[in-house]
Amino acid sequence: MSDSGKFSAQSDAISVIVIVKNEAHDIRDCLASVHGWVGEIVVLDSGSTDGTQAICREFGATVVETDWPGFGPQKQRALEAARGPWILSLDADERIPPALRDEILASVKASAADLFRLPRRSNYCGQWIRHSGWSPDYVTRLFRRDAAHFSNDLVHERVIAAPDTRLGTLSEPLMHYSFRDFSEVLGKIDSYSSYGATQRAARGQPGKRSGGVGRALLHGFWTFVRTWIIQRGFLDGKMGLVLAISNAEGTYYRYLKLMLLEAEPTREGTKKP
């Protein structure tokens, strides 16, 4: 039996959604891991200039060009653009191995739950991380389109379940190639700390500050301790130490950037929340 015949019954119900910008180095392997066994692939692109869109179209993906409102709003747009009753949300640096593919198809066919958590196994600069808060790392990525939506967070978005939905957990891991090198680590520390600061500033109370050098040092130190000691990052060796330091840096810069946002005057002469 051909692959198309083997997968058609349940796979036609699945829409894969991916949000991208300049992901040519990752997107081919991501889409190759789902090509041929899902009903559609929907990609939202926010201004790629590296050939990402052409690669996506090689796999028959529907590519929608759009602006960038943040991770949560962008994934919600992708969800709304998809047509299948089941949604499989992926990042460009993630892959579905054959064992997980088979489990996804079986779970969709059985419909024993409305949302499914997937265990994620992450690679950090060439090393698979087994501890450091990264393993087990469960992420909700497979769900009925009418059973959930994405949060409005600029970064670290969440899948929010509708009332009375059934949650299931898969056993086969989703493979995550999070960082290829330290340049990517530094770039993400910069961008994510900016998103995080903006998000915290928007949620803060007017006149009440939550950023500052002291808070940055304290929260950064605590992030290191949590990753390296409490989450046993030391068992990941030198890369566990590097990961703990980079996590701490991200937290440290987030609170410093928040301090600057809170100190920035508005046109009316007051402080931004």
Question: What number is the average pLDDT over the span 253-263?
Answer: 94
Cis upstream peptide for 136 (omega within 30°): yes
The span from the CA of 221 to the CA of 105, in Å, is 43
Residue 206 has pLDDT above 80, yes or no: no
Band (pLDDT 50/70/90 cuts) for residue 188 is very high
Structural tokens at position 86:
């089941």
Q: Are 129 and 50 in contact (CB under 8 A)?
A: no
In the 8-state DSSP scheme, what is residue 59? Answer: T
Chain segment 165-186, per-residue pLDDT in tens: 999 999 999 999 999 999 999 9
Please say if the pLDDT value at position 9 is more than 70: no
**pLDDT value of residue 271:** 41
CB 82 within 8 A of CB 42: yes
How large is the average pLDDT for residues 217-227? 98
Return the SS3 of 175: strand
**What domains can you pick out in the chain, each with its CATH number?**
3-178 (3.90.550.10), 181-263 (no CATH)
pLDDT at 205: 67
| Band of residue 263 on the pLDDT scale cut at 50, 70, 90 | confident
Which amino acid, 16? V
- For residue 189, what are the β-bridge partners? none
- In this prediction, residues 236-248 reach a mean pLDDT of 97
Name the 3-class secondary structure at 158.
coil
- Reply yes or no on whether the pLDDT at 273 is more than 50: no
Mean pLDDT of 38-44: 97
State both tokens at 257. 């950037």
How many whole angstroms separate alpha carbon 163 and alpha carbon 170? Answer: 21
**CB contact at 8 A, 184 and 242:** no
| Phi and psi torsions of 205, nearest 5° | -90, 135
Residue 204: its pLDDT value, please? 79
Q: Using one digit for the tens of pLDDT, what is the confidence trace for 77-132?
A: 999 999 999 999 999 999 999 999 999 999 999 999 999 999 999 999 999 999 99
Looking at residue 10, what is its pLDDT?
A: 66
pLDDT value for 261: 93
* Rounded average pLDDT over 225-229: 98
Mean pLDDT on 123-149: 96
Residue 154: burial class (beta carbons within 10 Å; 0-12, 13-18, 19+): buried
The whole-angstrom separation of Cα 234 and Cα 41 is 39
Structure confidence at residue 133 (pLDDT): 94
Whether the predicted pLDDT of 69 surpasses 90: yes
Q: Give the whole-angstrom CA distance, residue 44 versus residue 61.
A: 10
Task: Please write down the HEC assignment for all residues of 67-114.
Answer: CCCCHHHHHHHHHHHCCCCEEEEECCCEECCHHHHHHHHHHHHHCCCC
